[in-house]
């Protein structure tokens, strides 16, 4: 009966030969030492060849009072301070007609009223007032906010709801 298991396979084989002994890398040592010696000789040979520093003329030492004294501050004369009130600028601005468009935001549409009321409660926790309205001709319950006078105000409230992880709100023109 032949056993083909892992343990039996390993038996009877010779141990691998020991790795060869490493010798010192003499060529590398010799090259490294010769490079270091050459660099040292180079530094020694250029040691006294730097040009001398030019002599800087020194001024007599100033007294402590001269150091602390500040020059007189010049008087500033600003011309625009006196001339600016004489000028007037006239700008023509067209009056914008107030937009009569109003906006609403719908945050959900549900078949079951209790789901719509649950979303309305989540919105109320964010400090906003929502309404649940029954859609005309169907049994869907819409959760809406508004009316808003500008789209900017509606978008600001939508971002507030997004920060509270209430997504899916859409801003529309008022059509109720």
For the chain, list the domains and their CATH numbers: 103-173 (3.30.70.1070)
Which residues are bridge partners to 171 per DSSP?
105
- Tokens coding 116: 């719509």
Tens digits of residue pLDDT in 67-115? 778 888 888 877 877 777 778 888 888 887 776 789 999 999 999 999 9
* Prediction pTM value: 0.45
Q: Which stretches of the chain score pLDDT less than 70? A: 1-13, 54-64, 99, 175-176
pLDDT at 72: 82
Residue 171 DSSP label = E
Full DSSP string of 27-60 = HHHHHHHHHHHHHHHHHHHTTT-SPPPPPPPPPP
- Give me the phi and psi of 69, to 5 degrees please: -75, 135
pLDDT at 165: 94
């Amino acid at each position: 009966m032949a056993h083909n298991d892992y343990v039996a396979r390993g038996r009877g084989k010779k141990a691998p030969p020991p790795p060869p002994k490493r010798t010192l890398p003499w060529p590398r040592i010799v090259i490294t030492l010769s490079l270091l010696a050459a660099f040292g000789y180079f530094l020694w040979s250029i040691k006294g060849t730097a040009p001398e520093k030019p002599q800087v003329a020194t001024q007599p030492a100033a007294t402590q009072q001269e150091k602390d004294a500040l020059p007189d501050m010049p008087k500033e004369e600003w011309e625009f301070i006196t001339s600016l009130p004489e000028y007037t600028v006239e700008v023509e601005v067209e009056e914008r007609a107030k937009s009569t468009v109003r906006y609403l935001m719908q945050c959900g549409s549900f078949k079951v009223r209790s789901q719509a009321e649950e979303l309305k409660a989540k919105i109320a926790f964010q400090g906003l007032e929502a309404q649940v309205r029954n859609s005309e001709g169907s049994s869907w319950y819409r959760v809406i906010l508004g009316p808003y006078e500008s789209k900017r105000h509606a978008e600001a409230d939508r971002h507030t709801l997004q920060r509270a992880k209430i997504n899916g709100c859409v801003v529309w023109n008022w059509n109720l």
